[in-house]
């Protein structure tokens, strides 16, 4: 930008455009541009704010994540109490509620605003002059916790309104969509970590993280359902008008909301939403009825800690009793073994359940689940059936304890469980059919063998059709075989074969990384290549020899030694050699003054270099790149939005570099 005035104008335009796209994507689910184009706009705004820090305003989209971790949450007193709702568990209780409303208001029929009851965490968002200033949890209804930094990470929450009332408190629910919950638990399983019971627990835990960057990774959503204190807003006559006003100001509101007249319409709505419940994008545990007339709400008032004018009509509990007939073990794509209870068929939450996850061996022991037990089964999050607890007084004398197998039930390889992990794992790696697809995708990934055009859908077909069993089989595929697969033309098949052929020449570090050895990332693979120089000495090394290397501890050493102890894995390596895969030795970089042996940490977005490019340049110069700042860190390389690493580096007196400073240091070396 030629002048600061031009920069300010461009930044304002970018902020408006990016927030419009956030609204289209996160609220309406109707994106207007591809993700890559969005990233270009976001990157431009980041770079503009980096050059002109005065443009980095609190309501900028770039500030949704970036606050330093909090030591603790401050207390917040609500201007208007956030009261809970009374519950109705049957049609008779709803009839009694409607009768009370008609008698109190002296009307024959009542109009009710109706919407699903979201199963999340209630929050209050405070806007001053149209700008989001404060976000708090419900707490005890009168005071909650200040979680503003975490709420800023939720992209469906607008940071700035198109209108600017003096004060507006928006009330709603923070929740996790089903698809995000499934993805989170899938990642937890792959890491061998404990899964979340349901989306509500996952959302609540994410919102109360002291580090907002962790909250941001959980992909939370927000749905508005009301207003607290307000000054400078229109005078609303009905609850429906109030929700329409929020929707017009880009707050997400329930698309299933409506206005119903009279008791029969309420019950019809309840049953319709109940039937549609499984297909909704989010968890609900009932529906809410509110007298639609806001003046009537004021006349009806409150009783104890709940409003008289509203009630939550809850769905029945989604638990049932069944019997554990057997416990099988499933092997996931990363080799994690998961015990699964085979159940006597039982109807839970609208479906017949015959299997339920037991998560891992520790959970089986903690709940003391045995084969033959009578158990309580729940559809956790309406997605994953799980065993909640054992009905102990019904345990038969012949109930049998579950024992995790010592050999993989899929390939027969050894099963191991590391001390710091909850999951037991198959050690076969490249050989195990259960891990085959993921192993091949990792092998072909950009940072490994970098085989272009070999995507997930193609790998699925190759494995499912028996064309590829190990990574070595990729080098025996011809274009004619590929062209015969679904959605593969001759040209695209030729491109894949060309990419496979190019990958035959690689480096030892890439080859080691591509094998997918547990606990061996890119940096460790590079260190191993530098230390051993060739693959054969590495394959022959025992745990003691491996631990003589710097930065290789007992866990990593054990993973490497056990991987190469498996004959199947050694056969794959020999298959790669036979197919013509060759590697260049990684030469140790010559010492460079100020760089060799120095430890670098990268943070934020650099103007020109990607994180990978900066890392590679440092490694080539003989430096080390690590992920966190400590007293041993020599340099912090900081770009735009550096976050807490920058603060910690300043606190410890670590030398700070921008991109130009890094390039100058590398140039001097």
Distance between start and end Cα atoms, the chain: 33
Q: Encode burial over 281-291: b for 16+ CB neighbours within 10 A, e otherwise.
A: ebbbbbbbbbb
3-state secondary structure 429-486: CCCCHHHHHHHHHHHHCCCCCCCCCCCHHHHHHHHHCCCCCCHHHHHHCCHHHHHCCC
**Cα distance between residue 246 and residue 29, in whole Å:** 17
Do 598 and 624 contact (CB within 8 A), yes or no? yes
What does each C-alpha distance from 300 to 237, 260, 290, 297, 454 come to in angstroms? 15, 19, 11, 5, 65
**117 in active site:** yes
Do 436 and 472 contact (CB within 8 A), yes or no? no
Residues 6+ apart with CB under 8 A from 53: none
**Cα distance between residue 99 and residue 107, in whole Å:** 10
* Tokens linked to 65: 């994540």
Q: Which residue has the tokens 């009806």?
A: 300
Catalytic residue among 117, 160, 314, 615: 117
Tell me the angle at which helices 567-578 and 554-565 cross, rounded to the nearest 10 degrees: 70
Alpha-helical segments (H) within 518-604: 522-532, 535-540, 543-546, 554-565, 567-578
Dihedral (Cα; 41, 44, 48, 53), 10-degree rounding: 70
- Tell me if residue 422 falls in helix, strand or coil: coil
- Tell me if residue 146 falls in helix, strand or coil: strand
- Tell me if residue 273 falls in helix, strand or coil: helix
**Cα distance between residue 122 and residue 138, in whole Å:** 5
**Region of 282 on the Ramachandran plot (φ > 0 left; ψ -120 to 50 alpha; else beta):** beta
- Tell me if residue 1 falls in helix, strand or coil: coil
Quickly list DSSP for 398-416: T-EE----SB-TTT--BEE
**Cα distance between residue 290 and residue 171, in whole Å:** 15
CA max distance for the chain: 90
- Tell me if residue 349 falls in helix, strand or coil: coil
Catalytic residues: 117
């Amino acid at each position: 930008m030629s002048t600061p005035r031009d920069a300010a104008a461009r930044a304002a335009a970018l902020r408006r455009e990016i927030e419009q796209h956030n609204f289209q994507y996160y609220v309406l689910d109707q994106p207007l541009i591809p993700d890559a184009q969005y990233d270009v706009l976001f990157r431009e705004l980041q770079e503009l704010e980096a050059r002109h820090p005065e443009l980095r305003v609190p309501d900028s989209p770039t500030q949704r994540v970036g606050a330093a971790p909090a030591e603790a949450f401050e207390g917040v007193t609500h201007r208007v109490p956030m009261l809970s709702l009374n519950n109705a568990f049957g049609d008779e209780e709803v009839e009694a509620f409607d009768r009370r409303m008609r008698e109190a208001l002296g009307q024959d029929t009542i109009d009710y605003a109706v919407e699903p009851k979201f199963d999340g965490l209630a929050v209050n968002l405070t806007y001053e002059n149209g700008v989001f200033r404060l976000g708090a949890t419900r707490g005890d209804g009168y005071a909650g916790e200040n979680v503003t930094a975490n709420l800023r990470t939720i992209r469906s929450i607008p940071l700035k309104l198109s209108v600017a009332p003096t004060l507006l408190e928006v009330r709603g629910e923070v929740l996790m969509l089903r698809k995000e919950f499934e993805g989170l638990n899938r990642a937890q399983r792959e890491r061998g970590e404990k899964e979340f019971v349901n989306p509500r627990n996952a959302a609540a835990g994410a919102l109360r993280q002291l580090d907002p960057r962790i909250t941001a990774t959980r992909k939370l959503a927000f749905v508005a359902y009301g207003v607290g204190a307000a000054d400078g807003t229109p005078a609303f006559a009905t609850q429906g008008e109030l929700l329409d006003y929020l929707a017009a100001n880009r707050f997400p509101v329930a698309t299933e909301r409506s206005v119903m007249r009279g008791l029969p319409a309420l019950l019809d709505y309840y049953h319709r939403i109940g039937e549609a419940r499984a297909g909704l994008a989010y968890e609900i545990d009932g529906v809410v009825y509110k007298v639609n007339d806001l003046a009537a709400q004021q006349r009806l008032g409150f009783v104890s800690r709940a409003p008289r004018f509203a009630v939550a009509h809850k769905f029945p509990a989604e638990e049932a009793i069944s019997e554990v007939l057997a416990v099988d073990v499933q092997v996931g794509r990363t080799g994690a073994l998961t015990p699964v209870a085979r159940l006597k068929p039982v109807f839970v939450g609208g479906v017949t359940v015959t299997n339920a996850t037991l998560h891992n061996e520790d959970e089986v022991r903690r709940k003391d689940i045995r084969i033959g037990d009578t158990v309580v089964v729940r559809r956790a999050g309406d997605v994953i059936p799980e065993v909640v607890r054992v009905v102990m007084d019904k345990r038969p004398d012949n109930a049998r304890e579950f024992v995790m197998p010592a050999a993989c039930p899929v390939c027969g390889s050894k099963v191991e469980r590391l001390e710091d992990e909850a999951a037991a794992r198959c050690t076969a790696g490249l050989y195990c059919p259960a891990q085959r697809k993921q192993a091949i995708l990792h092998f072909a990934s950009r940072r490994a063998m970098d085989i272009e055009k070999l995507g997930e859908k193609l790998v699925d077909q190759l494995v499912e059709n028996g064309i590829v069993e190990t990574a070595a089989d990729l080098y025996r595929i011809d274009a004619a075989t590929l062209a015969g697969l679904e959605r593969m033309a001759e040209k695209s098949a030729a491109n894949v074969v060309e990419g496979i052929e190019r990958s035959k020449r690689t480096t030892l570090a890439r080859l080691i990384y591509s094998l997918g050895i547990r606990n061996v990332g890119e940096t460790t693979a590079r260190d191993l290549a530098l230390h051993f120089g060739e693959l054969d000495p590495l394959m022959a090394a025992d745990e003691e020899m491996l631990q003589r290397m710097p930065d290789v501890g007992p866990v990593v050493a054990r993973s490497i030694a056990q991987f190469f102890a498996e004959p199947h894995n050694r056969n794959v390596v020999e298959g790669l050699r036979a197919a013509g895969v060759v590697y260049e030795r990684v030469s140790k970089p010559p010492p460079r003054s100020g760089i060799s042996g120095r430890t670098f940490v990268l943070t934020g977005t650099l103007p020109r270099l990607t994180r990978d490019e900066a890392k590679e340049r440092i490694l080539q110069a003989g430096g080390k790149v690590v992920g966190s700042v400590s007293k041993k860190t020599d340099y912090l390389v900081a770009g735009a939005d550096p976050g807490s690493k920058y603060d910690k580096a300043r606190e410890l007196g670590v030398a700070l570099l921008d991109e130009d400073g890094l390039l100058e240091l590398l140039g001097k070396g």
